[in-house]
Structure 1
Amino acid sequence: MFTGIVECTTKVHQINREKNNLYITFNNPFLNNEIKINQSICHNGICLSVMNINKKTYSVIASEETLLCTNLNFLKIQDEINLERGIILHERLNGHIVQGHIDTIAKIIKIENRNGSWLFFFKSKKKLDYVVVEKGSIAINGISLTIVTCTQYIFNVSIIPYTYEKTNLHLNKIDDVVNVEFDILGKYVQKRIQHYCKKT
């Protein structure tokens, strides 16, 4: 479980395909003993488990299912990604509840510089329906953000300078594909409403 508050970024060191899986090695930005084998880390919003570690790198594996619903197939060596380790229960939840389970991908269709902030516009692969609401929470590449406006397929978020500089958002450009996770509370509400509508 994560909060969507990115700790740091790192770069892709190596990518290997084996059958339907993708093995990814990242530069290790953490100190000794800060991560361990089988630990879950949020990579651009995707929860992936650490397979092996050395002083300079660590590796994870992404299964076929993960590749089908995320932007990992677009990943290249030296790409910069956002990282967040799992939450510690006695700390404040500064973002929102992020599972690291990607719901869909979205393409950046417009970026507006608002003289001190940025407005990013995204077109979702999936219909947003009622799971996304204005002023609601959403995770983009693992970053906890607030939706400004939304339609059936398009939504936008406002980015402050700190978030822009400390995540990989400053590297994103129009037509880039990002990972999207909807607010888990919204998903439960939507499912309950759909169940009720079917009964009536």
Structure 2
Amino acid sequence: MTIPSSRSVPSRSGDPRERIERTAYELFSRHGTRAIGVDTLAGRAGVAKMTLYKHYRSKDDLVLAFLRRREELWTRTWLQNAVRDRSRKPAARLLGIFELFDSWFRKPDYEGCAFLKVLLEQSDPQHPVRTAVRGHLQAIRSLLVELAAEAGARHPARLAQQWQMLMMGCIVAAYAGERNAAREARKAGAFLLRAEGLRA
């Protein structure tokens, strides 16, 4: 299954709302949300600022739309499906996450995790954008709990927590230049599985 890419040039024709969302997806994925202003978004999308604000009351609303699209493309369409297609064994599916990450990290346009970037950019714990990111991370945790339970883990919730920490850690490490981060995380994951009495 192909890893989604943010590097697509928005079309200058068609629905303005779709052009705005495609442009936001590309720019926010690559540069984060704080570094990209409304003027840049409108200019790259080929729309007037008034048109942008007609569809989105604020930049935060556009960031939320970006996060929804990111979750749909990456979490639901790519990660969840690719993990389940990788093996029939749940424990192997858990390790398969890091195998998928290894391919992702080696892409020339690897840009890190948009959700972690946004989480670090938004310090207000009550902000709707930060709340949306927490919801995404919880969705990932739920998937991991499900896989851990299917694998027969004695403590599925604890294993899922540890697994997600490994996932987030290796994503950041790869963004810092450690391209073998997923392979090292896989080794640590295998140790966690053995501690639960599981084999992939």
Q: Identify the TM-score tier after normalising by the shorter chain.
A: under 0.3
Bigger Rg over Cα: 2
> What is the TM-score of this pair, normalised by structure 1?
0.24
Report which of the two has the higher share of helix: 2
The TM-score normalised by the length of structure 2 is: 0.24
